[in-house]
Amino acid sequence: MANSGHGLQIYDDLDVETSSIFNYDYSTSSESNDVAPCDLQTTIIFDRSFLPAFYSILFLLGILGNVLVMVVLLQNRKRLQSTDIFLLHLALADILLVVTLPFWATQAVSGWLFGNVLCKTVASIFKINFYACTFLLVCISCDRYLAIVYAVQVYKKHRTNLVHWSCLFVWCLCVGLSVPDMVHFQVAYEPRTNVTECQPVFGSSNFKTWRVSMAFLYHIVGFLLPLCFMLYCYTHIIHTLFQTHGFKKQRALRVIITVVVAFFLCWTPYNIVALLDTLNLLHVLADNCTIDSNIDIALSVTSGLCYFHSCLNPLLYAFVGAKFKKKLVELLSKLSCICPQIVKNYIKHSPSAKSSTWSESGETSISRM
């Protein structure tokens, strides 16, 4: 007989005891398959090998690209335009998001080793930046929309202030949305899988209510609204671009479509799997162990895809701008990373910078004015 902690009760060697407990025999046994417990180890074993490898790649790519964006933008701090300020905040949010990935990878291998305070901190940082990345993308699309469709002057000083205020608002909103996580995340032991993890712990009475409301909040605020807003903005931008003449229309169009498609491809799979997970939890799908473990593995893969979007952001938003590329090459040559001759050639052949922004939107908006 053994009684381990955490409320788990184990009774061993029942053969001696049970015979004396029951002097009558329950001969009608029901050892059918539907009462066999699920093997939860399948997903744990998958995560143990998949997450560290996948998250390491995401961590390296994310840090490299986003630090580069921040360095280049901060080098030209004084001439930052509205979109550049958003890009700066986006790069910061991306960096903070991927910085939490090594913690989750370690947790997948050996459980949570970092204590309760770090659990709450890392979980909050993760959620804040999870939302911040999406909201800043919304801000960028809104900025481009105003610049192109309404040709709002991007260079007026009060607009730069507006940009700072919107960034502040985004961060406050994200902190607000992560408060439930801050409260509920804690280090807890799960006897079913024999692991100690940093997980949201809800009281037994409102277990389902909390899970439902957290997911409700995320799907609406974190995915559907931003997606609809971005689609609205970029559709109007494309519409306006088609009415103008003599501008690099194709290129601008390609950039916009890439941005929207990338967002859609990275975030939709996770949202679909999360929806399936819910249907499964509500016993809408066929309730069996195979579906459980398939959904769990799909959640691991598709949520990784969400984080991959943070690595794509520098490519999608910063590096597409001709001016940004030029500044990057200049910076690299300053650090004597590449041969000066290549830099000279690149600068000579690169399109002359008419605008003073790095980003595509600035260039397009300038041509409109």
Partner 1 sequence: MAVGKALALFCGLLLILSCVCGMSPLGKQRCMCKGRGAERISTQHLKKLEVFPMSFGCDEIEVIVTMKSGSKICLNPQSKFANKLLSALRKKRSSK
| Span 16-75, contacts to partner 1 by CB under 8 A | 17-19, 21-22, 25-31, 34-38, 40, 43-44, 47
Considering the complex, what minimum distance in angstroms separates the CB of residue 145 from partner 1? 20
> Element (H or E) spanning 189, and its range?
strand 185-190
* Residues 322-351 close enough to bind partner 1 by CB under 8 A: none
Q: Is 99 in the site for partner 1 (CB under 8 A)?
A: no
In the complex, least distance from residue 202 CB atom to partner 1, rounded to whole angstroms: 7
Residue 254, CA distances (Å) to 57, 242, 351 in order = 27, 13, 18
318 neighbors 67 (Cβ within 8 angstroms): no
Question: What's the min distance (Å) between Cβ of 121 and partner 1?
Answer: 14
- Per-residue binding letters, 292-311, with partner 1 (x by CB under 8 A): x---x--x---x--x-----
Q: Smaller CB distance to partner 1: residue 39 or 79?
A: 39
Residues β-bridged to residue 190: 195
Shortest Cβ distance from residue 296 to partner 1 (Å)? Answer: 5
- Residue 2 DSSP one-character state: B
In the complex with partner 1, the residue whose CB is nearer, 115 or 351, is: 115
Sign of CA pseudo-dihedral 309, 107, 191, 217: negative
- Interface map 175-214 toward partner 1 (x if CB under 8 A): -------------xxxxxx---xxxxxx-x--xx--xx-x
Check if the beta carbon of residue 100 is closer than 8 Å to that of residue 122: yes
State which of residues 219, 251, 325, 368 lies at the interface with partner 1 (CB under 8 A). 219
By residue count, the chain amounts to 369
Q: Are 75 and 329 in contact (CB under 8 A)?
A: no
Residue 139 CB, nearest approach to partner 1 (Å): 23
In angstroms, rounded to a whole number, what is the distance separating the alpha carbons of residues 39 and 22? 30
**Pick 204 or 250: Cβ nearer partner 1:** 204
What does the alpha-carbon distance between residue 97 and residue 313 come to, in Å, rounded to a whole number?
12
| Region 112-141 residues binding partner 1, contact defined as CB under 8 A | 123, 126
Q: Which of residues 227-266 bind partner 1 (CB under 8 A)?
A: none
DSSP class of residue 38 equals P
Taking alpha carbons only, the member of 233, 131, 245 closest to residue 181 is 131
CA dihedral 347, 63, 90, 312 (to 10 degrees): 70
Of positions 69, 137, 274, 320, contacts partner 1 by CB under 8 A: 274
Closer CB to partner 1, residue 188 or residue 332? 188
